[in-house]
Amino acid sequence: MKYTEEHEWLRVEGDLVVVGITEHAAEQLGDVVFVELPARETKVAKDDEIVVIESVKAASDILAPVEGEIVEINEALTDNPGLVNEDPLGEAWIFKMKVEDMDAIDAFMDEDEYKDFIG
C-alpha cells in the first residue's frame, strides 16, 4: 500500500488502484455519518475533489490522488458509512480507478514513511 499526505491509502490490484482513507484519518474524523461517492466513469485530474465524507465533527473532501477514471465505487458506504470507522483499510475502500500513469503511484509514501509523517 501507498499513502498520501492527505491521509488516503492506495492499493494496486491488477490494472486498478483502490483508494480509501487511513485509520488515522478515520480517527480524526470521528463517527462517519455520510459518504458522498463519485459517479462511475468520472474522469478525474490529480487533486480533484471527488468524495465528501461527513462525520459528527466535520466534513472532509477526498481528493483524487492521481489522474484517471473512477470505474467502481463502494456502494456499501451509502448504506453503512460507519464502515469507514470500523474497517478503513479493508471493507471501507471508497473507489477504484484506472490510472493514466501507474508509475505515479511510486511517488507516494510507503507504510513506514506514512507512520513517520503522522508522528
72 CB-near residues (< 8 Å, 6+ apart):
16, 40, 95, 96
pLDDT value for 108 = 97
Other beta carbons less than 10 A from residue 32's beta carbon: 24
Domain locations in the chain?
2-102
pLDDT value for 66 = 96
pLDDT value for 6 = 95
Q: Which residue has the cell 459518504?
A: 35
pLDDT value for 55 = 96
Residues in the chain where the model's pLDDT stays below 50: none
pLDDT value for 56 = 93
SS (H, E, C) 1-49: CEECCCCEEEEEECCEEEEEECHHHHHHHCCEEEEECCCCCCEECCCCE
pLDDT value for 24 = 96
CA distance 58 to 53: 8
pLDDT value for 101 = 93
| The residue type at 54 | E
User: Is the four-CA dihedral 80, 16, 24, 34 of positive or negative sign?
Assistant: negative
pLDDT value for 43 = 97
32, 44 Cβ separation under 8 angstroms: no
**What pTM was computed for the model?**
0.94
**CATH tag for 2-102 (out of 3.20.20.150, 2.60.40.420, 1.10.10.10, 2.40.50.100):** 2.40.50.100
pLDDT value for 94 = 97
pLDDT value for 3 = 98
